[in-house]
């Protein structure tokens, strides 16, 4: 074989290896896979490099479907009752619905990596009674998370001050503020307390200021698919926003955010069989 050709082959090989080793791995810290009709969308996300997804239930029915989807390898479960669903529960059923939700978490500790989605959403609670109902559900699940030594995945809309106050009051330590919509001061407060903030695939100047001010160790990427992103692949956009704002490369940002997600949810202890 002429030496030139051999050299070229070696070079091509080296290029190929470099490209492969740079294949970016993503983690989606918050999505709702049970709401995605077509399983192929999830499979496509996996082959695209989204190798870790934390799928959140929001009520009894979606919690059950989330557990069915959970494979403890790519898809992990977070179970809870979100504020939008909390207000729909009739007063007389509230206690038993909360207890059933917590019992489902306890029964499936091998699959559940977080208590969520839980939180407060004042756009869905226009009366004092409905706010009180959201708080009851939120606080009961916070206490369950503490008892079970699980982190919490928290939703907040128009309620960040109150959410931060309640988390403090309950002395929560492992907190994930999903789709963070607070201001820079609130983001810094969250960072100081050791909370994690996840970035959705939506551009906004306010969010860029937060990304700039908060250390990358306190950030994760989420698609919130199919509510915000169409598919978990959209975490790519979240990662790109972080990379651009922090002036680092996309592989570097993806690596950091993926590691943060695996660490925060303690996924290593849940994985059912070898990755690959
Ligand atoms: Zn959500």
pLDDT digits (tens, 9 = 90+) for 213-262: 999 999 999 999 999 999 999 999 999 999 999 999 999 999 999 999 99
SS3 122: coil
Encode pLDDT of 241-252 as tens digits: 999 999 999 999
Check whether 275 has a pLDDT greater than 70. no
Domain region containing 84: 26-266
Say what the pLDDT of residue 276 is.
39
Query: Average pLDDT for residues 189-215, to the nearest whole number?
Result: 97
Domain membership flag for residue 156: yes
Q: Specify the pTM.
A: 0.90
Quote the percentage of the chain above a pLDDT of 70. 90
Domain membership flag for residue 254: yes
Are the C-beta atoms of 196 and 220 separated by less than 8 Å? Answer: yes
Name residues with Cβ closer than 5 Å to ligand 1, which is an ion.
117
Say what the pLDDT of residue 274 is.
44
Domain membership flag for residue 160: yes
Domain membership flag for residue 80: yes
Say what the pLDDT of residue 270 is.
82
Are the C-beta atoms of 241 and 50 separated by less than 8 Å? Answer: no
CA of 1 to the centre of ligand 1 (A): 59
CA of 153 to the centre of ligand 1 (A): 9
SS3 201: coil
Domain membership flag for residue 21: no
- For residues 178 and 31, what is the distance between their CA atoms, to the nearest angstrom? 10
Check whether 28 has a pLDDT greater than 70. yes
Check whether 273 has a pLDDT greater than 60. no
Query: Average pLDDT for residues 61-83, to the nearest whole number?
Result: 97
- How many CA atoms within 13 Å lie on the side-chain side of 72? 12
- For residues 53 and 114, what is the distance between their CA atoms, to the nearest angstrom? 12
In CATH, what number is assigned to the domain containing residue 116? 3.20.20.140
Alpha carbon 137 to its chain centroid, in Å, reads 20
CA of 29 to the centre of ligand 1 (A): 10
Domain membership flag for residue 125: yes
CA of 11 to the centre of ligand 1 (A): 46
Q: State how many domains the chain has.
A: 1
Check whether 41 has a pLDDT greater than 50. yes
Check whether 6 has a pLDDT greater than 80. no
CA of 162 to the centre of ligand 1 (A): 19
Confidence of residue 44 (pLDDT cuts 50, 70, 90): very high
Domain membership flag for residue 113: yes
Q: What is the mean pLDDT of the chain?
A: 93
Residue 191: count of CB within 10 angstroms of its CB:
18
């Amino acid at each position: 074989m002429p030496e030139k050709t051999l050299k070229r082959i070696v070079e091509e090989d080296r290029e190929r290896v470099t490209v492969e080793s740079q294949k970016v791995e993503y983690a989606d810290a918050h999505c709702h896979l049970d709401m995605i009709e077509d399983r192929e969308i999830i499979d496509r996300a996996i082959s695209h490099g989204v190798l870790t997804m934390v799928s959140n239930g929001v009520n009894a029915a979606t919690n059950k479907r989330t557990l069915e989807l959970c494979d403890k390898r790519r898809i992990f479960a977070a179970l809870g009752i979100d504020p939008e669903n909390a207000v729909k529960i009739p007063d007389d059923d509230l206690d038993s619905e909360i207890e059933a939700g917590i019992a489902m978490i306890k029964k499936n500790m091998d699959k559940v990596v977080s208590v969520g989605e839980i939180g407060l959403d004042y756009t869905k609670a226009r009366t004092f009674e409905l706010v009180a109902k959201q708080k009851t559900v939120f606080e009961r699940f916070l206490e369950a998370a503490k008892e079970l030594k699980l982190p919490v995945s928290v939703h907040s809309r128009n309620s960040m001050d109150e959410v931060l106050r309640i988390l403090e009051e309950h002395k929560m330590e492992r907190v994930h503020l999903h789709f963070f919509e607070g201001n820079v001061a609130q983001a810094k407060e969250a960072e100081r307390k050791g909370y994690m903030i996840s970035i959705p695939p939506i551009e906004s100047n306010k969010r860029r200021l937060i990304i700039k001010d908060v250390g990358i160790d306190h950030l994760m990427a989420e698609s919130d698919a199919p509510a915000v992103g169409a598919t978990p692949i959209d975490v790519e956009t979240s990662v790109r926003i972080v990379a651009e704002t922090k002036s680092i490369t996309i592989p570097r940002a993806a690596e950091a955010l993926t590691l943060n997600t695996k660490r925060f949810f303690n996924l290593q202890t849940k994985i059912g069989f070898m990755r690959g």
